[in-house]
Structure 1
Amino acid sequence: MAQSQNQRRSELAAFLRSRRARITPADVGMPPGLRRRTPGLRREEVAQLAGVGVTWYTWLEQGRPINASVQVLDAVARVLQFDTTEREHLYRLAGIPFVREPVSDVEVVGEEVLGILGTLDPLPAAVFNARYDVQAANDTYRTLWPMTSLVERPQRNVLYKMFTVPECCSTMVNSPEELPWMVAQLRRSYGRHVGEPAWEAFIARLIAESPAFAQLWASGDVAAPGRRVKIFRHAEVGLINFTSMSLSIDGMPEQRIVVYTPVGEEDRVQVERLRAIENPLIGCARHGRRLSDVLAARTAQDPARPTVTA
């Protein structure tokens, strides 16, 4: 038994080293730096991005007999950009049962909540967790913001997208007013998760990749969810004004339904115009791509992947 555990730890150490070597600083939004002797990330960089101690991560790569929690392994897997197969292999080597991530909205929020989202259509509506991950959405929301259903589930975070996309491709016109409020709301939620690796890694990643977020985070402001006015811009139909309302969900304390109501009749017409476009442009007029091109590129990268992940 002891020999088997030692072999498994050695294999885990070698696996992590090989995966770390393939990730460049640019892959995680870090500057390349000078005189890098390692082909990929350094150990301390992985530890920082994952929100774990450098010594602990070093021991993990050295195959020492230490315990690793699910949360910590998930954070390391995210930094090293593991796919599902690699994540499962990591869990097996660490001696932890692998639990498959939910792949559908119904697995995350349940049939009842999905039914509510569908009933709200044509009002755009989505379920967010406390970190602004999009957990589920209805058809109109996906029409307005299609990338929420086209990227893998761990990447469906609207706050991260808003702080990292080029300004010209940002869909929110009044972001100078809204982003500080959203960060303040994130900090309020963070108070319940201080020290949790997934949260610490998320915050650290945003700070590293967005000076604007880092400045807002350093302010220490907190805020609660509530009614807001958001002005969105689409390259093909123009401006759409929404009033957003955040609604709590019984039995799901850290998740909420956010409903977007067009402010006026013209805004409602704009939504219908956008819904009528069969192959919309995603992004700005300069950098955007047609939805069909995005789907074709995804299929070319992974022919086995479904064309749309619900």
Structure 2
Amino acid sequence: MPENTLGAFLRSRRERLDPADVGLPALIRRRTPGLRREEVAHRAKLSVEWYTRLEQGRGGPPSAQVLDSVAGALLLSRTEREHLFLLAHGQRPEAPHIDADRIDPRFRRALDGFAPGPAYIKTAAWDVIAWNRAARLILSDYEARAPEDRNILKILFLEPATRGQLAEWELEAGRIVSTFRRELTRWGATERAEKLVEQLRVRSSDFARMWGAHDVGTLGEGVKHLAHPIAGDLAMWYSSYVIDDEPGLGLVLYTPETDDDARRMQRLLDR
């Protein structure tokens, strides 16, 4: 008989909780450690029978809403919540919406300390939510944009000037669209991302063509060639990274490809 890994995980998280942590009296005599099933069910707003069946591995797979309720009732960390979804559904939970106001200050300090190259943090929908000064001066003035317009796909496909600034626009756009599709599949298609796709398909025939190809890829590493209006032609090596414990967030760093690129970028920052 296959092991009930979901039930075993839920039971272990239930039994490790101190009743006092969830506001329950600590003086009640308990035969087993942790919370009772009925207490978890009450906290998750589920019937005791339903939660018991979930722990025992009976019934169909729970909905994402139910898993979220159970995760909250058990005070699961982000990592534990992701593990719960993987056990129940075989995939991660949908990435939460994160805006610029909710970025950890440590990330901002790390971005500001990365010089002279651009650095930014993006969501799975490719919204730029934090950046350093070099990113603002070299890539795009994100501060001057409304929050809903700080989106790399919008800038890439809906602003004609961008096409003239990128020497390999077609290649770069295709790579970004294929990575965007992969990240949406990995983290879940948020309502904002779905609306973004529909908007881009209507307004950009290039995006509609690339999206219709169903290519899946990863941004990885490479060289961006940019015709900057002040600094001139720049070549920058970019690298992308996933941020641990921050579902859907990615860090993208740019470094000058040559010493000459570094000098021109530094002159721009010194202005």
| TM-score > 0.5, shorter chain as reference | yes
Normalising by the residue count of structure 2, what TM-score does the alignment of the two structures yield? 0.60
Query: Are the structure 2 counterparts of residues 169 and 276 from structure 1 closer, same or farther at C-alpha, using a change threshold of 3 Å?
Result: farther
Gaps of 5+ in 1: 1-100, 278-310
* Contact 2:116–2:255 (8 Å) recurs in 1: no
Which residue number corresponds to residue 117 of structure 1?
Answer: 111
Q: Following TM superposition, by how much is the alpha carbon of 1:216 offset from its aligned partner in structure 2, in angstroms?
A: 0.3
CA distance in 2, matches of 1:181, 1:222: 9
CA distance in 1, matches of 2:241, 2:117: 14
Which residue number corresponds to residue 175 of structure 1?
Answer: 169
User: What's the RMSD between the two structures over aligned residues?
Assistant: 2.1
* Contact 2:165–2:226 (8 Å) recurs in 1: yes
CA distance in 2, matches of 1:168, 1:131: 19
Q: Which amino acid aligns with 1:237?
A: A
SS of equivalent to 1:120 = coil
SS of equivalent to 2:250 = strand
CA distance in 1, matches of 2:129, 2:189: 23
Of 137, 148, 160, 1:166 maps to 160
Of 119, 129, 138, 2:123 maps to 129
Which residue number corresponds to residue 249 of structure 1?
Answer: 243
| Sequence identity (%) | 25
CA distance in 2, matches of 1:252, 1:102: 9
SS of equivalent to 1:240 = strand
Q: Following TM superposition, by how much is the alpha carbon of 1:276 offset from its aligned partner in structure 2, in angstroms?
A: 3.5
SS of equivalent to 1:231 = strand
* Contact 1:108–1:135 (8 Å) recurs in 2: no
Number of residue pairs the alignment of both structures matches = 175
Which residue number corresponds to residue 35 of structure 1?
Answer: none
SS of equivalent to 1:191 = helix
CA distance in 2, matches of 1:248, 1:197: 22
Which residue number corresponds to residue 273 of structure 1?
Answer: 267
Deviations 1:74-109 (A, max 9, x none): xxxxxxxxxxxxxxxxxxxxxxxxxxx988x4x232
Query: Are the structure 2 counterparts of residues 110 and 196 from structure 1 closer, same or farther at C-alpha, using a change threshold of 3 Å?
Result: closer
Q: Following TM superposition, by how much is the alpha carbon of 1:244 offset from its aligned partner in structure 2, in angstroms?
A: 0.5
Which residue number corresponds to residue 84 of structure 1?
Answer: none
Which residue number corresponds to residue 89 of structure 2?
Answer: none
CA distance in 2, matches of 1:187, 1:146: 23
Normalising by the residue count of structure 1, what TM-score does the alignment of the two structures yield? 0.53
CA distance in 2, matches of 1:137, 1:195: 24
* Contact 1:194–1:200 (8 Å) recurs in 2: no
* Contact 1:249–1:256 (8 Å) recurs in 2: yes
> Are 1:143 and 2:137 matched, yes or no?
yes
Which residue number corresponds to residue 5 of structure 2?
Answer: none
Deviations 1:147-182 (A, max 9, x none): 211111121001111111115764322112111110
Deviations 1:15-39 (A, max 9, x none): xxxxxxxxxxxxxxxxxxxxxxxxx
Which residue number corresponds to residue 219 of structure 1?
Answer: 213
Aligned 1:88-107 pairs, distance under 5 A: 105=100, 107=101
CA distance in 2, matches of 1:178, 1:145: 14
* Contact 1:173–1:231 (8 Å) recurs in 2: yes
CA distance in 2, matches of 1:172, 1:231: 6
Q: Following TM superposition, by how much is the alpha carbon of 1:253 offset from its aligned partner in structure 2, in angstroms?
A: 2.5
Which residue number corresponds to residue 63 of structure 2?
Answer: none
Q: Which amino acid aligns with 1:148?
A: Y
* Contact 1:125–1:138 (8 Å) recurs in 2: yes
Of 89, 102, 106, 1:108 maps to 102
Q: Following TM superposition, by how much is the alpha carbon of 1:197 offset from its aligned partner in structure 2, in angstroms?
A: 2.5
Query: Are the structure 2 counterparts of residues 133 and 170 from structure 1 closer, same or farther at C-alpha, using a change threshold of 3 Å?
Result: farther
CA distance in 1, matches of 2:242, 2:189: 25
Gaps of 5+ in 2: 1-96
> Are 1:206 and 2:200 matched, yes or no?
yes
Structure 1 runs of 4+ aligned residues shifted over 3 Å read 167-170, 192-196
Q: Following TM superposition, by how much is the alpha carbon of 1:145 offset from its aligned partner in structure 2, in angstroms?
A: 3.1
Q: Which amino acid aligns with 1:235?
A: P
Instruction: Select the structure of larger CA radius of gyration.
Output: 2
Query: Are the structure 2 counterparts of residues 228 and 110 from structure 1 closer, same or farther at C-alpha, using a change threshold of 3 Å?
Result: same
